Amino acid sequence: MNPTLFTLLIASTSVFCGDQYLQKREKIIQDERRLSLGGNIELNDKEEAVNKCIMKHKHNELDYAFDSPQFFNFSHHFFFYRENIPNSKVFKIIKNMPKGAVLHVHDMGILGPDYLLNITYMENLYVCLEDNIQFKFSNKTPSSVCSSKWILMRDARRNTKDITEFDARLRNRFTLVVDNPDEVYPSITQSWGAFMDYFGTVAPLVSYRPVWEQYFYDTLLKFRNENIMYVEVRSILPNLYELDGTEYDQLVTAKAYRKATLKFIQDYPDFIGAKLIYAPSRKVDNATISKYLNVARRIKEDMPEFFAGFDLVGQEDLGEPLIEFAPQLAAAAGEFNYFFHAGETDWCGSTTDENLIDAVLLGAKRIGHAYALPKHPVLMREVVNKDIGLEVNIISNNVLSLVRDVRNHPLNVFLANGLPVVLSSDDPGAWEAGVLSDDYYVAFVGVASRTADLKMLKALAINSLKYSVLDSKEKTDALNRFNLRWKEFVNNFDCSSY
C-alpha cells in the first residue's frame, strides 16, 4: 500500500473512532434533546420510574414497526388503526395521565355518533328522510321544506322492518369513519365535503335548547374522564330553538354554555371550568365580519369572565383569507384575544398559508393548526419571540387529508425546536376519537422523536394551561392543581398494571 495513503487512512480512522469525535457527536445529541420541548425538565425518581415504563412500551411499538414498516399504524389513515389504539400500553398510560387543558375544539364535533344516535330517541323529534337528512324538534309538523315528508322519528323507527339496521344507517350520518377511507376520501375535497355535511346534519339536532345544555354538560364530563381540567371551546353560536319554534339570539347560546359550565363545576369542583371562543365562518364578506365583531362585543360585555376571544373557521383554501378583513380585525385587536386558524394547508405561497402572516401581525395569542409554519422561517422566529401558542391537531390533519404518514407532520419540527406547542383534538367525535388522549398517543409514538419521553408529555400538559386565557391568578391556581394531580399520578403509578 502507498505509505501516504496508509498514513491518511490511519489518521481518518483515528478521527472517526477517537474520543474527541464521539464526544462531539454526543454533544450534538444532548444539545438537540435540551432544545426539544421538555428537554430542560428534570424528572424526580418517581417520574423516572414512570418514564422507564412508558419508554419501554414505546420502544417495543417502534421496534416492531421499524422491522415491519408495512404494519406501522401511523403511516396509514387514522380509520385503519383507530380501534387498535385502546390496546396500546402507551395509550393506557397517557389516558390516565393528567393532561391539563384542551384549547382547540369545536362544540358540535366533540361527542361521537353513539351519543348523537341516542338523541334521536327523544320525544318530539321530527325527521325528513332524504339524501340530506334533516332533524327538527317541534310540537307540530315542521313547515320547512322536505322533499318527502316530515315524520316523527319514533314513527319512522317503528315503521322500519329492522330497527338495528335503521339505527346503523342513521349512525353513519353522525360519523366520517368508513372502512375504505383511501377510496372514499381520495383528496381534501371529499374529506372536507363530508365534514361539512356532518355539521349540517348535527346542528339542528343539538341546537334544540335543552339538548344543547345537556350536550355541553356531557362534553365537559367526557373531558374530565380523560383527565382534563379546563376547556376553551370554539362555537359558531347557532341560534337555539324551542319546541314552539321560538328562536333565540346568539347571546342566549353563549349564556347556555355558561349555565352548563357553572352547573358542571358545582357538581365537579375539581374541574376548573370552560371559556368560549366565538368562531363563525370565514367564508363571508366584510359587512358580515362587522356583524360578527358586534356579536363578540355583546358577549364580552355581558360575560367578560366567560368570553375568551375570537376566531374565523372553515376550510381555509375555500374561505376568505385574513388579509381581506385585516383593517376591521386590526381595528378591533385591542378589544379581543385572537386565536386564528391559519396555515391549515399543504400549499406554499398561497393566500391560505399566508394567513399565518396576518395571524401574527394581528396579534393572535395562539394559532390554530399552523400546519404550514415550517415553510415560513421568519414567522417561525416571530412565533418564538412573541411566544404564540401553536394549537396542533394531529388526527384532524390526517383525517382531513393534509398528511397521511404522520411522521411527516410538521409537529416533529415544532417539538424538535421547542416551540410553544399545545396539543388538541379539533373535532374528535366526527372521527370517533377520544377527546384528547388519542392525539397525545399519536403525537408521542407516531410523530415525536423515538427519544421523546415523559418530559415532553409533561411539557405539553403544562403548555395547555400556560397558553390558555386564564388570568395570572387563575393560571397559578390551575398549575398548582395540575401539579397535585401529576404528583398523585406519579406516586400511584404501577408499571405492572400496564
Helix/strand/coil for 395: helix
Helix/strand/coil for 154: helix
Q: CB-based contacts of 237: which residues, under 8 Å, 6+ apart? A: 250, 253, 254, 278, 280, 295
Residue 14 in grid coordinates: 483515528
Q: Are 43 and 488 in contact (CB under 8 A)?
A: no
Residue 330 in grid coordinates: 386590526
| Longest alpha-carbon distance in the chain | 101
Residue 462 in grid coordinates: 403544562
Residue 61 in grid coordinates: 411499538
Through-space distance between the first and last CA atoms of the chain, rounded to whole angstroms? 59
Q: Which of 61, 226, 344, 354 is catalytic?
A: 344
Helix/strand/coil for 234: strand
369 is catalytic: yes
Beta pairing, strands 273-278 & 230-235 = parallel
Q: In angstroms, rounded to a whole number, what is the distance separating the alpha carbons of residues 446 and 61?
A: 10
Q: Which of 104, 341, 369, 409 is catalytic?
A: 369
Specify whether the backbone of 218 is left (phi greater than 0), alpha (psi in -120 to 50) or beta.
Answer: alpha
Question: How many CA atoms lie less than 13 Å away from 313 in the CB half-sphere?
Answer: 23
Q: Are 449 and 459 in contact (CB under 8 A)?
A: no
59 is catalytic: no
- Which has the closest alpha carbon to 429: 214, 177, 93, 207? 177
Active-site residue list: 344, 369
